[in-house]
Structure 1
Amino acid sequence: MQPIAASEPGIRVSLAELIDMRHRIREVQLFSTPARRSPLVGLHHSKLRGRGVDFDQVRVYQPGDDVRTIDWRVTARTQEPHTKLFHEERERPIFILVEQSQRLFFGSGLAFKSVLAAQVAALIGWAALSHNDRVGGLVFGDNEHHEIKPRRSKMSLLQLLNRLVRANQNLNSEIPAGRDTFGLALRRAREVLRPGSLAVVLCDERALNDSAEQQLTLLARHTDLLLLPLSDPLDHALPAAGLLQFSQRSALLELDTHNSELRETYHALGEARQARWQVLAQKLGVPLFPLTTLNDPIEQLRDHLQGQRPRKKQ
């Protein structure tokens, strides 16, 4: 087994970098704590129709408590409003599907999309482990995939991160495109995940085709989903930079970016991809957190979670 090369910041990741992501889990509230309830977990429980939470205790009602949790028997007996408290079921399997393919080996922002995927996967893994959940996942690329069974073990997470780093280090622009590995990864997740699991999907925004959409729909029937499609600003808009040349192996493509019709068509395709993800997430009733290479991943996740919080009544 050959040693993993040192990382090139923003282009490739190292195992040390992904291990260090554990220090950043305090910066974003991915999962609940005794003091705070994550809006993401709130969505998880509401979709499960009550599964995943256990009754904890009854205490005196406080302003801001949900009136639906009032314990009317205790309230009638004590003549003082009381509310029920619940805590989350522990050791919930969290399965992280993360893409490391040639189409992610690109970026014009802070990092390549492949690096962004690895960083977010590591962050979610460390957050889940600190929350006492079982963590595993599947790293899939153009021609291979590596699966780690969910366990409540630091070693299991390190195995997943190690596989992720090796796949990332092997990426290059000359890798031939393989078959529909995203659809195959989703099909495998359906085979191994039990009801009540949370599947976290980190993939290129362009990965959503008819087959993948069907697999996601089937997967959502018995597991919870968090969708995190990845994109780069250049996936959505071409700069007016004149003649641009793109090459892959022996193929060469030239685009005249001064052509306004070409840029408008290119932009429309990017908008259509975004809209397709939004329509799918709404149909399945699952959270959609699009990520871009333009901004820090922690800030993006924090913004998405803030957007998931229920608005206060005026």
Structure 2
Amino acid sequence: MPDTMHLSPSQPGVRVNLAELIDMRHRVREVQLFSSPSRRSPLIGLHHSKLRGRGVDFDQVRIYQAGDDVRTIDWRVTARTQEPHTKLFHEERERPIYILVEQSQRLFFSSRLMFKSVLAAQVASLIGWAALDHNDRVGGLVFGNNEHHEVKPRRSKQSLLQLLSRLAKANQALPGNLQNNRDAFGLALRRAREVLRPGSLVVVVCDERTLNDASEQQLSLLARHCEILLLPISDPLDQQLPDAGRLRFAQQGAQLELDSHNRDLRKAYQTQGESRTARWQRLSQKLGVPLLPLTTEREMVDQLRDHLNGQRSRKQS
């Protein structure tokens, strides 16, 4: 059982606890992340992987009907009943879903509704509950400044709770060690490549600023054998600097002062933010994988719903 510290009330928008991540299961029906027999998700590749092969389970036997595949005739039942019978199968739905979620110092920030670290934890939890509800195996890896915690994919509630407990502990430990490992994202992706079988779905939840040459290469290698869903997290201040005069920043004794009245400085800052966003878009197009960027200025489920509606509209046009 999780210790009581992670079940205690959190600071809304600043930190998240295990109880709140467990409660995310009640919001699964608000957004159609995965396909169901009656509704198909507009996200390509999130229903069944083309790499999984013909995974089927036996369902039942019924009387042969015109149009049935003769290769599925059950000859034993046919001989016993003296009437042609055929086997019915349903597609195997269970598959590994690996949620790779960042909880590092760079996410411990916000200028709007919630910290980026809280938003990342919320969306990772929601996807975990949706995957379990979809009868998939759920696991993942929580990576931070200098450590990571892994839970192997299993089709069990206990496995998901173990992952969420790790996630809550990492969130409550922030900002933690301020010596950030710049290659933490790449190491986490490399670990995913080592443990995941072809056809797995890797859900990547990380700071928008995390992407670099090394991690982009790891994502490209991972995409050869697995499906990927990208969810980069950002805050409006990552994209644009306000015209607010002199701004002072301090960390570990070091100080930085910026004059935000400087139009050239604000323009350069904005260009840098736009460049990061464009890089994620290029990567998504290159790999042919869905990109669902999230921001701290809006409620998470509303953003996901808008993304899915946008995906659906593009498919229909």
Alignment of 1:117-266 (within 5 A): 117-172=120-175, 175-266=178-269
Name 2:278's counterpart in structure 1. Answer: 275
Classify the secondary structure of the residue corresponding to 1:39.
coil
Identity %: 67
What amino acid maps onto 1:199 in structure 2? V
CA distance in 2, matches of 1:311, 1:213: 27
Unaligned runs of 5+ in 2: 60-65, 69-88
Deviations 1:4-45 (A, max 9, x none): 3531000000111000000000000011122111112x4346
Give the whole-Å Cα distance in 1 for the aligned partners of 2:91 and 2:171.
34
1:119-143 Cα distance to aligned partner (Å, 9 max, x none):
0000000000011100000000001
- 3-state SS, counterpart of residue 5 of structure 2: coil
Bigger drift between 226-235 and 45-54 goes to 45-54
Relative to 1, partners in 2 of residues 1:46 and 1:154: Cα closer, same or farther, differing over 3 Å? closer
Q: Which runs of 5+ in 1 are unaligned?
A: 58-71, 75-85
Q: Corresponding residue for 1:307?
A: 310
Report the more deviating stretch, 115-124 or 302-311. Answer: 302-311
Q: Which amino acid aligns with 2:37?
A: P
Alignment partners' CA distance in 2, 1:45 and 1:51: 13
- 1:62 matched residue in structure 2: none
Conserved? CA contact 1:143–1:179, under 8 Å: no
Distance 1:173 1:249, change over 3 A: farther
Residue aligning to 1:8: 11
Alpha-carbon RMSD: 2.4
What is the 5 A alignment of 1:16-31? Answer: 16-31=19-34
Q: Is the partner of 1:294 in helix, strand or coil?
A: coil
**Equivalent in 34, 37, 40 of residue 34 of structure 1:** 37
CA distance 1:301–1:286, shift in 2 (3 Å): same
Larger radius of gyration: 2
- C-alpha offsets along residues 268-301 of structure 1, whole Å, 9 cap, x if unaligned? 0000000000001100000010100011110111
Give the Cα–Cα distance (whole angstroms) in 2 for the partners of residues 45 and 90 of structure 1: 8
